Homo-oligomer: A and B are copies of this chain.
Amino acid sequence: MLRMVVLGCGRIGQMHAANVARHPRATLAGVYDLHQPSADSVAAAQGVRAFASAEDVFASPDVDAVLIATATPTHADYIEMAIAAGKAVLCEKPIDLNLNRVNACAAKIKGTKLPIQLGFNRRYDPGHSAARAAMLAGEIGDLHQVIITSRDPGLPPKAYLEAAGGLFRDMTIHDFDLARFMLVEEPIEVFALANALIDPALGQELNEVDSAMFVLRTASGKQCHINNSRTAVYGYDQRVELMGTKGMLLSDNRKPHELRRYSATTTETSAPYQFFFLERYLEAFMAEIDGFVDCVEKGAKPLASFEDGRRALILAEAAYLSLRERRLVKVSEVSG
């Protein structure tokens, strides 16, 4: 049993704590949050220890691994501290909003044999996974195009947006990672177009966008489109399409159940899609922990690595450059 401590007891930390607690091969060895009452509450609910500080967690000999679900600015520090303390790491995305900080972190942890896994949950989704496996097995011949539709159910609060680092680094980063995961090859060019369509006022105040379209291309010419919106009222819209010479694969949305309704004016009406990531990617979040335990116990390579986190951020940087300069940008322009 892998003894894991969850750092950060917000919404996503609470979910991770519950998932670790019920995982057959992991134990929740405690939780920590800067805000002590949050930690205490989760600790009580799970019947585990609330650590007084992150330092205490890293110092504890009864802890094998940490799951970092704290505020973004702390991620890189905690990764460095965990590695220094000999703990395996499962860290929520993004590593940091600043590429220099990520590169510095990479330099510091270089050479470690400890597993560091990034929280790119979509890589673990059963539908997306099955699509990729079928593609790798040759089912659609040569892959030519990837289309990713990724829409959140609504605009987050202003406070969230102020800290999130911009749509491309906060939301699209998942799609940039998924694009890399599906393309298999590295994208070398990026184009971005974005607007504040849902709330133009917020757009002016925060210089933020809420609707975006991207086009990526790999060295061999494979093409990828991503479209983002923060306003899918019909539920979290998460689709991936892989188009190849011998066929197509479509990993589609998931409904809470399969009831269809028929009336004098409609047929086949279903319920809204799973509301948001906690619901839609429930199985993926569990599989993520599964994969992490395999990394620690069996020496497996993380399906989503630190380098994957860094690469996704580079694509976000390239996309911002494209947005500013209204042109197709080479990824090498920002990755140095």
Contact B235 A197 (CB under 8 A): no
Contact B264 A233 (CB under 8 A): yes
Q: A197-B144, A211-B145 are in contact. Are A257 and B251 (CB under 8 A)?
A: yes
Q: Which of B212, B227, B264 contacts A246 (CB 8 A)?
A: B264
Residues of B within 8 A of A249 (CB): 259-262
Residues of B within 8 A of A243 (CB): 151, 229, 232
Q: A191-B215, A198-B144 are in contact. Are A231 and B250 (CB under 8 A)?
A: no
Residues of B within 8 A of A237 (CB): 248
- Per the 8 Å Cβ criterion, residues 303-336 of A in contact with B are 326-328
CA distance A312 to B131 in the complex (A): 35
Contact A247 B233 (CB under 8 A): yes
Q: Determine the residue in chain B with the shortest Cβ distance to A238.
A: B258
Q: Which of B125, B149, B258, B264 contacts A127 (CB 8 A)?
A: B258
Binary interface encoding of chain A residues 262-296 relative to chain B, with 1 for a CB under 8 A from any of its CBs, else 0: 11111111111100000000000000000000000
Contact B266 A234 (CB under 8 A): yes
Q: Which of B22, B213, B234, B268 contacts A264 (CB 8 A)?
A: B234
A253 at the interface (CB under 8 A from B): yes
Could you write out 23 A-B pairs with CB less than 8 Å apart? A140-B263, A151-B243, A189-B193, A191-B191, A193-B217, A193-B328, A195-B217, A198-B245, A233-B246, A233-B247, A234-B247, A234-B266, A246-B264, A247-B263, A248-B261, A249-B259, A252-B258, A252-B260, A253-B258, A267-B271, A267-B272, A269-B270, A327-B328
Q: Which A residues contact B (CB, under 8 angstroms)?
A: 22, 125-127, 130-131, 134, 139-140, 142, 144-145, 147, 149, 151, 189, 191, 193, 195-198, 211-213, 215, 217, 221-223, 225, 227, 229, 231-235, 237, 243, 245-273, 326-328
